[in-house]
Amino acid sequence: MFHYSPPTEPFLDIVYEDDFILLANKAAGLLTVPGRGEDKKDCLISRIQTIYSTALIVHRLDMQTSGLIVIALSQEIHRHLSMAFQDRKVGKRYVAWIAGHPEQNSGTVNLPLLLDWPRRPLQKIDMQMGKPSLTHYTVIKREEEKTLVSLRPETGRSHQLRVHMKALGHPILGDALYAPLDVQAMASRLLLHSEHLEFDHPATGERFSFTLHADFN
């Protein structure tokens, strides 16, 4: 049985703040929002709300994914940001270590995704019923048994990057849900990090961007 034991050092990592938004660096192993059960109440938003009582989640990262999340500090800001995500006006970039070496230095995975209901929360590729899902990838560097890639999802489906990299034949290292055991064993955690967000600031209207490089140690 899965035992939830989120990291506590640091308890909270706020990397940017103004009067309207926060950017938090979510640690790998920490839920974005509460899970089911008393033992899963500790999460990013509950920690943030101990300091910023009006904070609201706009989007999520998988528990094992680290990196940038934008937080709204009012209902009005939450509405603006939620619409920006819904309308795909938010630029997102991730970095990941994947197993093996892709043939091309860049490419696109365009495969529709659907919840694998009997095995939920797993997702699966379904060409008939799946929701459109699009990921662009670019190779950053290649090492002996692995490749560092930049990933730019145009859609925001659950587990999209993890399923698309597996479909490409190069699952993400440490992925306990989708990678074979030997690839899981190549890392102590999922090596996937949200490193860049870009959007129109909901208060000023100016284009806002922030980058936080991965620390996979």
Name the band, by pLDDT with cuts 50, 70 and 90, for residue 1.
Answer: low
CA distance 58 to 71: 6
- Would you state the pLDDT for residue 39? 86
Q: Render pLDDT for 62-107 as a digit per residue (tens, 0 to 9).
A: 999 999 999 999 999 999 999 999 999 999 999 999 999 999 999 9
Task: Name, in order, each residue with C-beta under 8 angstroms of 40's C-beta and a sequence gap of 6 or more.
Answer: 4, 31, 34
Domain-located, residue 83: no
For residue 124, what are the domain limits? Answer: 93-192
Q: Render pLDDT for 21-42 as a digit per residue (tens, 0 to 9).
A: 999 999 999 999 998 888 899 9
Residues with a catalytic annotation lie at 62
How many residues can be counted in the chain?
217
Domain-located, residue 132: yes
Q: Render pLDDT for 134-184 as a digit per residue (tens, 0 to 9).
A: 999 999 999 999 999 999 999 999 999 999 999 999 999 999 999 999 999
**Residue written as token pair 């919840």:** 115
- Would you state the pLDDT for residue 210? 98
- Would you state the pLDDT for residue 12? 96
Name the band, by pLDDT with cuts 50, 70 and 90, for residue 217.
Answer: confident
Query: Considering the chain, what percentage of its residues have pLDDT values greater than 70?
Result: 99
CB 199 within 8 A of CB 89: yes
CATH of the domain at 168: 3.30.2350.10
Domain-located, residue 208: no
CA distance 40 to 18: 29
Domain-located, residue 77: no
Domain-located, residue 180: yes
How many domains does the structure of the chain reveal? 1
